[in-house]
Amino acid sequence: MAFSFFRSNTSGFRGGIVLEGHKLYGEAGQTRQAPIPAELIFPLEQHIGQAARPTVTVGQKVLRGDVLARADGLISAPIHASTSGTIAAIEERPVPHASQLKARCVVLQSDGQDQSRAEPLWQVPENPLAISHEALIDIVRQAGIVGLGGAAFPSAVKLNPKDTSATDTLILNGAECEPYISCDGAAMVENADDIARGALLLKTLTHARQVMVGIEDQNTTAIASMQKAIAKLGDGCICVKPVATRYPQGGEKQLIQSLTGLEVPSEGLPIDIGIVVHNVATAAAIWNAVANGRALTERVVTVAGSGVKQPANLRVRIGTPIRDLIAFCGGYQPDVEYRLLMGGPMMGFDLAGDSLPIVKATNCILAGSTQDLAPPPDPMPCIRCGDCVEVCPAGLLPQQLYWHARAHEFEQTQKLNLADCIECGCCAEVCPSNIPLVQYYRFAKTEIRVADQERRKADQARARHEFRLERLERAKLAKEEARRRKREELAARQAAQKAAASTDADATASKAPPSSTKAAASPAVQAALAKARQRQEMERSESSASQPEARKTAKSINALDALKSTAARPDS
Amino acid sequence: MMRSSPWLHRRRSVDHVMRDVLFALIPGAALSTHLHGVGVLWNLLLCVSSAALVEAVLLHMRQRPVRKHIADLSGTLTAVLLALSLPPWLPWWQPVLATVFAVSLGKQLFGGLGYNPFNPAMLGYVVLLISVPVNMSAWPAHTADAASAWPYVFGQIGVADLDGLTAATPLDSVRTGLSQQLTLGELLPQLDHHHHLLLALGWLIGGIYMLARRVISWRTPMAMLLGLTLPAALFSVIDGDRFAGPGFHLLYGATIFGAIFIATDPVTSSTTPRGRLIFGFGVGFLTWLIRSFGAYPDGVAFAILLMNICAPMIDRYTPTRVYGTGKGLSPKLRRPS
């Protein structure tokens, strides 16, 4: 059975590196409630998938929990007001994204009352564990819950696999492998019960056989607190599994490998091997939505780095500008030059400024000193030391990918499975030549994506062109065929007339019946051919046929063919 | 390019790697000086200084930053490896010639650090081995007085006048003995193994240091020693009079030095884990072949150069298994229904 494929414990994943933690564990990591700011900004696109559509108008008053924007399409998530106030604007604002571009946001002016909606948006069940799988998916969707580990993939989609009986193992990801980030660690200490109940809820409703909570072995307080909370549930199939403290242990694929020994197929999903992974904070958010009717309007964010005076874990309303959090943490260290990142120092991206808001995906704001995040010395040539191969958790050959990406040999990079690169940055971290390897991979991936799109466009254009040529050719053939038939008919008629004349003249000749079939067919054929000709002429006039039109033409040509074959049959 | 993640970088660079290798060479070099005399240091001086000079000139001609690339210590390392491979007494222009050849044709003409297909030190060594084979086989007898060799170094006397000061190397004497129809049983006891054991230990200490510092991988040296000792063991069992056993091959010649310091050169060896095993094994096996059947007493240098040619191909055919592909494809977990 499945058990035989399980390694008993955490032999871990391939490669990876050991990084200094800089974590706020224990007392230092206790979550503090961040104040509600005067202005909150809600980017409409703060999850993977379609941007949400605003459902409010400027000037409208909203309460906490009200929908500001609804999900648009299947892979999308609604956005809720995280406090009460008035909609000040719906406009383009800079948003926290690696591209540093602007995007549409709903701006909420807080009224300071922080009033919540009286009624939840959905019916709160008396026994959360007794609701149906569909009801769970519906609540999770309505609550706007997305993966809180940083990817922000709509959780409802993850809970709704094509094969609803496919989930064997549920994994809760509590392995915060990036340095500085400790928000999940804090949640597992302070919110352990909600996480555990969320685990039980997900297990019950997805009919998973077991739940594993993966936590890095150095985070002993979280392990102890989660074990205690899970023991209260009295379900032996939910357990805490300490995993090695090694970056990138918290990568979905890596954690799956560490806990089960299995690998997610390349270009596949965990559900393909019967596994679903949720972040621990997501599990707590799901529990809160189902049991307490709360939409996702707040999250825990780590504010860290030597650029900020009092690093802390903060419970933050979604939409809070970063500068309010920094101010709450005592402000910036006056003598420290810093770089502001969202996320950790290995995979985070840098922010244009601190006016940007906290979004659902924000697990960490890192004001790292420019010393801590100092750029490496100038790159040297690759000396092929192979250190990158040793640490790559995806089992790739980073230095060969680099050679090919640098030489713009993108096909070669694809052959070497560039798509399986998770951009964890281990290779660049260890590279003694300080080559910005991940940037080369991103460049190659972008080029491949662009080329793919262009190829698809070119394919369409070519198909359209070939179709047009074929259509013209067929029209030409049809015309010739029509001419030939007309000539034949004419000849036949003349011959018949001649024959009739000769029989009249002879008066004694036997009566040979004229080819009756031909005579019967000819009016019908002529009518059809005339129609076809007309159509052809019309088509010729609209020479630049777009696809639907081309399809129509195809239909008419098919009709013509059918007519021809029925008309021709009696002839032969 | 605009900077993006990762924002952390290990404070370790090419010159740190090269420095670690240079440190690792200290015990062996010290022992070699102790056993062979100051000629070792003299060679080091000649090679290192001429390497720096030639490299600086070539970098300048190639319009590359001279100071940056001299400071990466790769040229120095090449020179040191070459110097430690040469007999301690040579006419002074020979080590210089070998170094110039190694640095210019072996490295800079291919594009400098990282781009050379052949191990530059071994190229320089082989150039001398082919051009001046008699000088290259003149290793000092350990009873020799170093001072008496200086006239030879400065060209006042020829290699023939060194008679009595030099002795055949173990590989040489066994080779000659075998060609005179002697058996290994008669030849081996005459060899001075203490001296070689000591030197091998010196290199081994450096190897352990580099393994601990993760400068080299265990794969290449281990595979090379295996590639050498396996056929040696097999053939010594078949014909013990003509084929020496694994111990002989491990102890004498450039085996340990080559396995630890030459075959592990990252630039010119294979980079994939499996590739390193194949590369190392190939070096070992070719060394054994050349020693047993070839025209030269030792074969490490040739074996390494031959395998250098194969390294890119080995890399190509020994890719790592990518997560989620191939054999790792996991069976789907199924809930017991």
The alpha-helical segments, DSSP class H, found in A234-328 are 252-260, 280-292, 322-328
Q: Output the CA angle B230-B233-B234, nearest 5 degrees.
A: 85
CA distances from A21 to A176, A344, B298 (A): 10, 11, 51
pLDDT of residue A507: 57
Note whether B6 contacts A: Cβ–Cβ < 8 A. Answer: yes
Alpha helices in A25-181 (DSSP H): 133-142, 155-158
A428 with B9: Cβ contact below 8 A: yes
Per-residue pLDDT in tens (0 to 9) along chain A, 572 residues? 333 333 333 358 999 999 999 998 877 889 999 999 999 999 999 999 999 999 999 999 999 999 999 999 889 999 999 999 999 999 999 999 888 889 999 999 999 999 999 888 999 999 999 999 899 999 999 999 999 988 899 999 988 877 777 889 999 999 999 999 999 999 999 999 999 999 999 999 888 999 999 999 999 999 999 999 999 998 889 999 999 999 999 999 999 999 999 999 988 999 989 999 999 999 999 999 999 999 999 999 999 999 999 999 999 999 999 999 999 999 999 999 999 999 999 999 999 899 999 999 999 999 999 999 999 989 999 999 999 999 999 999 999 999 999 999 999 999 999 999 999 999 999 999 999 999 999 999 999 999 999 999 999 999 999 999 999 999 999 999 999 999 999 999 999 888 888 776 665 545 544 444 444 456 666 666 677 677 666 656 544 444 444 444 444 445 445 444 444 444 43
- List the helix and strand counts (H, then E) for chain B: 16, 2
- Res A342: pLDDT: 95
ipTM: 0.89
Q: How far apart are CA B265 and CA B258, in angstroms?
A: 10
Interchain pair A383, B267: CB under 8 A: yes
CB burial of residue A494 (10 Å; 0-12, 13-18, 19+) = exposed
Q: State the pLDDT at residue B330.
A: 61
**E strands of A136-209, at which residues?**
169-174
On the 0-12 / 13-18 / 19+ scale of CB atoms within 10 A, B247 is: middle
Handedness of CA A556, A561, A565, A568 (dihedral sign): positive
Q: For the whole model, what pTM was predicted?
A: 0.82
Residue A15 zone, left/alpha/beta (φ > 0; ψ -120 to 50; rest) = left
CB nearest to A397's CB, from B74, B269, B320: B320
Mean pLDDT (chain B, rounded): 90
Q: How far is the C-alpha of A253 from the C-alpha of A269, rounded, in Å?
A: 9
Q: Which residues contact A457 (CB under 8 A, 6 or more apart)?
A: none
Partners of residue A264 in chain B, C-beta under 8 Å: 323-324, 330
* Per-residue pLDDT, A551: 47
Contact A209 B335 (CB under 8 A): yes
CA distance A284 to A296: 10
What's residue A10's pLDDT? 39
Shortest distance between the Cα of B54 and any Cα of chain A, in A, equals 20
- Any idea how long chain B is? 337
Question: B293 vs chain A: nearest CA distance in angstroms?
Answer: 33
Query: In one letter, which amino acid is B113?
Result: L
Whether residue B67 lies within 8 A of chain A, CB to CB, comes out as: no
| Min distance A167 CA to chain B CA atoms (Å) | 7
Substitution target in B5, B64, B210, B325 with the highest count of A β-carbons within 10 Å is B5
Residues of B in contact with A268 (CB under 8 A): 324
Supply the pLDDT for residue A564. Answer: 46
CB contact under 8 A, B333 and A432: no
Distance CA B221, CA B276 (A): 9
Q: Among A418, A16, A1, which Cα is nearest to A253's?
A: A16
Cis, peptide link before residue B133, omega less than 30° from 0: no
Which chain A residues are Cβ-neighbours of B334 within 8 angstroms? Answer: 1-2, 168, 274
How far B330 CA sits from the closest chain A CA (Å)? 5
Chain B residue with minimum CA distance to A15 = B323
Give which of B300, B285, B314, B96 is closest to B203, Cα–Cα.
B300
Check residue B335 and give its pLDDT: 56
Give the full edge-to-edge strand order of the sheet including A338-342: A31-33, A312-317, A298-304, A364-369, A338-342, A349-350
Asked if residues A65 and A318 have their Cβ atoms less than 8 Å apart, the reply is no
Question: Residues B206-212: what's their mean pLDDT?
Answer: 96
CA nearest B284: which of B208, B204, B229, B217? B229
What is the rounded distance in angstroms from the CA atom of residue A539 to the CA atom of residue A410?
43
Best interface-test mutation with B: which of A205, A263, A338 has the largest number of B CBs within 10 A? A263
How far is the alpha carbon of A16 from chain B, nearest alpha carbon, in Å? Answer: 13
Per-residue tokens: A36: 């509600």
Local structure of B242: helix, strand or coil? coil
Q: Which residues of B touch A383 (CB under 8 A)?
A: 14, 17, 74, 113-114, 266-267
What whole-number distance in Å separates Cα of residue B111 and Cα of residue B107?
Answer: 7
DSSP calls for A257-269: HHHHS--PPTT--
Kindly state the average pLDDT of the residues B143-169.
Answer: 78
Closest by alpha carbon to A210, among A184, A186, A241?
A241
pLDDT, tens digit, for every residue of B54-113? 999 999 999 999 999 999 999 999 999 999 999 988 999 999 999 999 999 999 999 999
Q: Does B329 touch chain A (CB under 8 A)?
A: yes
**Token code pair at residue B180:** 């005179």
Of A166, A179, A395, the CB nearest to B321: A395
Q: Is residue A353 helix, strand or coil?
A: coil
- 8 Å CB contact of B332 and A382: no
Q: How many Cβ pairs within 8 Å bridge chains A and B?
A: 185
Nearest CB to A417: which of B10, B74, B322?
B322
DSSP A325: H
Write the CA distances from A293 to A64, A133, A289, A298, integer angstroms. 12, 17, 5, 14
